[in-house]
Amino acid sequence: MGRPRLIILIRHGESESNCDKSVNRYVPNHKVPLTARGHEQARAAGRHLCDVVEPGENVLIYTSPYRRTRETTEEITTQLQSGGIDYRVYEEPRLREQDFGNFQFDEVEMTRIWKERARYGHFFYRIPNGESAADVYDRCAGFNETLFRQFSSDKFAKVLVLVTHGLMTRVFLMKWYRWTVERFESLRNVHYCEFVTMERQESSKYLLKNKMRTWSDPPFDELTGATTADDPAESDAISNISPLVEKQNQIRAMYEEMQKDAAANEPPMLHHIDVVEHAAEVSASEDSDDVFDDGNEAAENGICINGRCRPRSIMSSSSIDD
């Protein structure tokens, strides 16, 4: 079996809509670009990936087709190319962001939607004209089946990288490790360009190397890059937060309070289930129970967007704008 040594999920870098939510009202979500800082975060991720890959290993990258993930992927592969690392890149639409219903509503209506979602529950609440996390889970399950079929090939890459989005990252882990809905809803988002790493063990099980942050942990400000309000290593941008960022922080603080209230008022259920946080207790083969038993299927879903080693010839700024 060609199971990779590492499976690494990387959230895209900071995007314009992460800094200004009003962007979502007039720019299609799949066309939102990275900020300058987001590009630098992606370049740093590429340099880090070069350090992670061992000599002689090759890399397979699946990327969401959204502009911010493609731009992140382009920055990463530029670093891989500079490091002489063999890689391939495929677009995979099933790794796309949760659909928030085309152009988003104005601030008042979106605040109402977030409040309603907090009361209803993150996993099952469907955004008007969009998706619920449960919908994302369904397409993630199909993608996992593709991976398990590909793992049957001894030629599968040693390092698998999924460049995707925050919610998809958490849903992917939920599906892989069979986390409960309650476990999923307890998780905070991952950082921009954070490496969420799953490492294969001798037993062929995958150990989750990250400690996932929950709502009980100190908050992380995605706009400023601060890990906690008291973290001495927090971004120096905190001292110069614009009025817009302050407003977004107020909305986020209100939203987090609603999350805590909803969790506190939720009736206890399923507490007898031992939630598996790490792969030490989950076999990769067990995860493929529902996969078709067809070792000969190529399962090369996704479009090869750069052949082998020249991403810029395809992933140019003009093609990304289309």
Distance CA 72, CA 33 (A): 10
Distance CA 24, CA 228 (A): 27
Distance CA 5, CA 158 (A): 5
The SS3 assignment for 135 reads: helix
Q: Tell me the two tokens of residue 117.
A: 């979602």
The SS3 assignment for 43 reads: helix
From the CB of residue 200, how many other CB atoms can be counted at a distance below 10 Å? Answer: 17
Residue 65: half-sphere exposure toward Cβ, Cα within 13 Å: 11
Phi, then psi, of 161 in degrees rounded to 5: -120, 130
Active site residue 191: no
What is the widest separation between alpha-carbon atoms in the chain? Answer: 57
Considering 14, 71, 74, 91, which one is annotated as catalytic? 71
Active site residue 12: yes
Active site members: 12, 71
